[in-house]
Structures are given as structure tokens and as C-alpha cells.
């Protein structure tokens, strides 16, 4: 059987680019996301383009019982996951702490932190049994610094940063690599989701500069995954040339 990559948040942006990149390298894929129609189309296209096998898991990573169920009920050979890309995540809102929406906070914490943990617990268990695997956590520049009004989103990505370090320590005896990839501004659906469908406001985030595209991040992930067995890249911060920090950017 081919190698297997499990990618969460595969229907859009960085996750979709990863799915294409791993399929192009001959990996079979387990793709996790909530939007069934997008996942169906994507799986069909990747299968036609690359001839790889694909398992679609229509699931919300926040739903612990369901995530456990859909992963547990995968056929045995699909549990030989070589690479887990913990990518599903989002930001909701951009407000000072006293004005933030507590439902948005719950959504971010539940998705970016707890959802990542639920998936990792199950999949790292399979990897520990095989003494083999590579976990890629998608962090952010927001996990390395804090910017105005980023409060809770930044906190979730700082939590991912701590979890990546913790996983690397705990999984060391089991020969499992842990890498964190931290992007700066990548033009995906991210800002549309952050601003709850306000496409004009989302577009303005990237006005006058060239942001990263999702494929830039997928390329970096593939670089990391394709290093020799004795090499692990712990942490990578990838910014557009026009972005120096979370907030300092050069616009035309
Ligand atoms: P997109 O909004 O384009 O993609 C997010 C993906 O996550 C979608 O496929 C979405 O699928 C999935 N997703 C969201 N919530 C859930 C959930 N509860 N359960 C399952 N899947 C979920 O954004 P990006 O590709 O930009 O974001 C990917 C990751 O990269 C996130 O972790 C984000 O924080 C991080 N990041 C993004 C940056 C950027 O500038 N774009 C910069 C730094 C980090 P569906 O809706 O179908 O469930
Ligand atoms: C997403 C990028 O700049 O909004 O993590 O934090 S940013």
C-alpha cells in the first residue's frame, strides 16, 4: 500500500494545497472537513488526476465523539498513517478583548486547540504502535507574536506552539517527528471566515502587497516531510517578502 497522509481542513486553502501535493507524490489520503460537497468534488478530482485512494471523513474536529468514531471505524490498513497534517483552523473576529464575541472565542479554542488535540490523540496512538510517523502542526506568526485585537486567535496559536513542543518531547521515544509550520499572510478563505463572509474587508487585508499562496505552504510541508529519516525540521516561519511581523507590512 502507498504511504498515507491524513489532512484536516482539506477543503480549502492550505489543506487543499497539501492534499494535491501529497497526492502528486503518490500518497493515499484521508481528508477531514465539514463541507461534504467540496470534499466529494476534491476527492474525485484528485483521484482522476493522480490515481490515489482517498477516504473522505465528513467531520467537525470539535466534535470529540464523532472524530473518535470516524477515525476508529477506518479500516485497519488506513490506520497506517505516515503523515498527519493538523491544519483545520480558523480565526473569528478581530476586536479588542472587551468587545470580543465569546462564541467566537469558543469556536477558535475548540477548533484550533481542542480539535487538533482530539485528532492527534487518536492518530499519534496509531503512530506509536508502529514507531513511525510525522506530525505537522499548522501554527502561525500569531503563535510567535501577539498583534492588536488578535488576542484569542493568537492565544490559540501560542497553544499550538506549546503543544508542538510537548508532542516532540512525548513522542521522541517512539521515533515520531513533530514539525510546526508557521505562516504569515496567506490568501485563502481565512480572512473571509475571520470577517464572517465580508469579502471586501477580507480583500483589503492583502491590498497593495503580494501575500503567500496556499501552495507556498504546501511546498514547505513537502520539503519538511521529504527530508531523510535522521533529519527533523522542528519549526518553520514563512512570511511574504512584504511582511516583516504580524502587523508591519510594506504596501505599494
Ligand atoms: P481556509 O479557511 O481556507 O481553510 C480552513 C480549512 O479548515 C477548511 O478546509 C475548513 O473546511 C477547515 N475547518 C475549519 N473548521 C473546521 C472544523 N471545525 N472541522 C473540520 N474542518 C474545519 O484557511 P487556511 O487554509 O488559511 O487555514 C488553514 C490553517 O492555517 C488554519 O489553522 C489557520 O489558522 C492557519 N493559518 C492561516 C494563515 C493565513 O494567513 N491564511 C496564516 C497562518 C496560519 P470546512 O469548512 O469544509 O470544514
Ligand atoms: C493567520 C495570519 O496574520 O492573521 O494566522 O495571524 S494572521
* Ligand 2 pocket residue status of 57, Cβ below 6 Å: no
The atom number, within ligand 2, closest to the CA of 150 reads: 6
Contact (Cβ atoms closer than 8 angstroms) between residue 159 and residue 112? yes
Pocket probe for ligand 2: among 93, 111, 184, 193, the residue whose CB has the most ligand atoms within 8 Å is: 184
Domain locations along the chain: 4-238
Active-site positions read 153
- Digitized pLDDT (tens) for each residue of the chain, 252 residues in all: 799 999 999 999 999 999 999 999 999 999 999 999 999 999 999 999 999 999 999 999 999 999 999 999 999 999 999 999 999 999 999 999 999 999 999 999 999 999 999 999 999 999 999 999 999 999 999 999 999 999 999 999 999 999 999 999 999 999 999 999 999 999 999 999 999 999 999 999 999 999 999 999 999 999 999 999 999 999 999 999 999 999 999 999
Instruction: List the CATH code of the domain at 4-238.
Output: 3.40.50.720
Between CA 99 and CA 83 the distance in angstroms is: 39
Task: Enter the ipTM.
Answer: 0.99
Pull the grid cell for residue 209.
502587497
Pull the grid cell for residue 229.
529519516
Amino acid at each position: 500500500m502507498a504511504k498515507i497522509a491524513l489532512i484536516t481542513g482539506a477543503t480549502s486553502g492550505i489543506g487543499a494545497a497539501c492534499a494535491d501535493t501529497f497526492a502528486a507524490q503518490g500518497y493515499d489520503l484521508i481528508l477531514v472537513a465539514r463541507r461534504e460537497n467540496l470534499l466529494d468534488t476534491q476527492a474525485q478530482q484528485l483521484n482522476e488526476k493522480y490515481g490515489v485512494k482517498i477516504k473522505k471523513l465528513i467531520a467537525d474536529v470539535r466534535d470529540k465523539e464523532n472524530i473518535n468514531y470516524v477515525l476508529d471505524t477506518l479500516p485497519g490498513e488506513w490506520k497506517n498513517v505516515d503523515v498527519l497534517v493538523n491544519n483545520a483552523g480558523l480565526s473569528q473576529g478581530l476586536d479588542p478583548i472587551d468587545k470580543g464575541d465569546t462564541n467566537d472565542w469558543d469556536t477558535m479554542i475548540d477548533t484550533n486547540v481542542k480539535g487538533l488535540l482530539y485528532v492527534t490523540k487518536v492518530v499519534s496512538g496509531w503512530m506509536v504502535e508502529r514507531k513511525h510517523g510525522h506530525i505537522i502542526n499548522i501554527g502561525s506568526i500569531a503563535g510567535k507574536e501577539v498583534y492588536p485585537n488578535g488576542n484569542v486567535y493568537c492565544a490559540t496559536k501560542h497553544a499550538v506552539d506549546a503543544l508542538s513542543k510537548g508532542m516532540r518531547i512525548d513522542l521522541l521515544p517512539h521515533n515520531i517527528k513533530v514539525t510546526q509550520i508557521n505562516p504569515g499572510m496567506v490568501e485563502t478563505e481565512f480572512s473571509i471566515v475571520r470577517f464572517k463572509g465580508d469579502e471586501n474587508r477580507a480583500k483589503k487585508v492583502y491590498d497593495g502587497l503580494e501575500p503567500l499562496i496556499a501552495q507556498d505552504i504546501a511546498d514547505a510541508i513537502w520539503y519538511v516531510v521529504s527530508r531523510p529519516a535522521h533529519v527533523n525540521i522542528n519549526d518553520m516561519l514563512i512570511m511574504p517578502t512584504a511582511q516583516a511581523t504580524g502587523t508591519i507590512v510594506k504596501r505599494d
